[in-house]
Amino acid sequence: FALAVAASGSSFAAKPLVMGFSQVGAESEWRSANTASIKDAAKQAGITLKFADAQQKQENQVKAIRSFIAQRVDVIAFSPVVETGWETVLREAKAAKIPVILTDRAVNVADKSLYVTLIGSDFVEEGRRAGRWLADYAAKSNKPVLNVVELQGTVGSAPALDRKAGFEEAIKGNPKLKMLRTQTGEFTRAKGKEVMEAFLKAHGKDINVLYAHNDDMAIGAIQAIEEAGLKPGKDIIIVSIDGVKGAFQAMVAGKLNVSVECSPLLGPQLMKAAQDVVAGKPVPPRIVTEERVFPAEVAAKELPNRKY
């Protein structure tokens, strides 16, 4: 009898926490680093991770979340591909008493009790930082007006909506900056290149500036600019967001002018929040990542320190 008690007692104490995580996809360097951070941090924390890749489709995320509910995981975490359309599935998780943690991207729901916390960046601020850098650049330029084209991220996603809004806020009423064209490049290199080609076909040398919502689209666009016989970083000034290694390499090569940092290393904070929630400890409703701005002048010095 004593033995049986000891055995069940110890197996209870050792039962690892189980997390279901639904990832957006593998669309960018940022996303790959984010996935690696989450997998590593789960291992470090002794958390059993059930990982599902949604391939940029909301319906796949909804399916994954329903399957996590059916498996009765201890906690569900996900990075929502778009902001809207989450009420039903989040209510199902709440009814099953499974706490939900959002990472990276926000959802647009009226009932804030449908999730515990959102861990990630302030995308509006990132957009403002990009806009402020450009406003400073424009102030020093001897050209009277700079024509800007914009490559937006995934339509309806929090980072695309917020980075657009923050940028617009920072350049609003600036007589030296004129928005020529804006279109989605879906956060990928291939689409960034394709849309930049179309911009160049329509406006050619009239384009002075590219604002890309992420580095991957900027890197795709750099190729398009070079293929059009122009010099990226010189003929067309390029401002982007994320701060991935590829962006630092492009800056060192003189092809990208600035990258606003957005850290994908959210794994450790996510695991900590999950452990706290399951242990019944209070967790703040918003956990904001700390970030910087890297102009090309500091790229060579910073590149060796970059972790993603």
Residues in contact with ligand GYE by the rule CB under 6 A:
27-28, 30-31, 104-105, 159, 187, 214, 216, 241-242, 262
Instruction: Say which amino acid occupies 37.
Output: S
What's the closest the beta carbon of residue 59 comes to ligand GYE, in angstroms? 19
Nearer to ligand GYE, 138 or 219 (CB): 219
Q: Which is nearer to ligand GYE, 27 or 74 (CB)?
A: 27
Closest to ligand GYE by CB, 74 or 153:
153
Nearer to ligand GYE, 49 or 151 (CB): 151
In the complex, the smallest distance separating the C-beta of residue 188 from ligand GYE, rounded to whole angstroms, is: 8
Least distance between ligand GYE and beta carbon 173 (Å): 27
51, 39 Cβ separation under 8 angstroms: yes
CA 68 vs CA 13, 25, 284: distances in Å: 23, 18, 24
Contacts of residue 40, defined as CB under 8 A and 6 or more positions apart, other chains included, come to 267
**Nearer Cβ to ligand GYE (98/133):** 133
CB of 126: closest distance to ligand GYE in angstroms? 8
Least distance (Å) between residue 158 CB and ligand GYE: 7
Nearer to ligand GYE, 31 or 164 (CB): 31
Burial class (CB in 10 A: 0-12, 13-18, 19+), 303: middle
Q: How big is the CA angle at 160 (ends 27 and 54), to the nearest 5 degrees?
A: 35
- Both structure tokens of 159: 């980072």
Cβ proximity to ligand GYE, 74 vs 216, nearer residue: 216
| Residue closer to ligand GYE (CB basis): 23 or 208 | 23
CB of 73 to ligand GYE, least distance (A): 23
Give CA separation, 224 vs 31, 105, 149, 190, 230, in Å: 23, 29, 14, 10, 9
Shortest Cβ distance from residue 213 to ligand GYE (Å)?
7
Cβ contact 93:87 at 8 Å: no
Parallel, antiparallel, or unpaired: how do β-strands 177-184 and 146-152 relate?
parallel
**Contacts of 14 by beta carbon, 8 Å cutoff, 6+ apart:** none
Give the three-class secondary structure for 301: helix
Quote the least distance from Cβ 261 to ligand GYE, whole Å. 10
Tell me the CA end-to-end span of the chain in Å, nearest whole number. 54
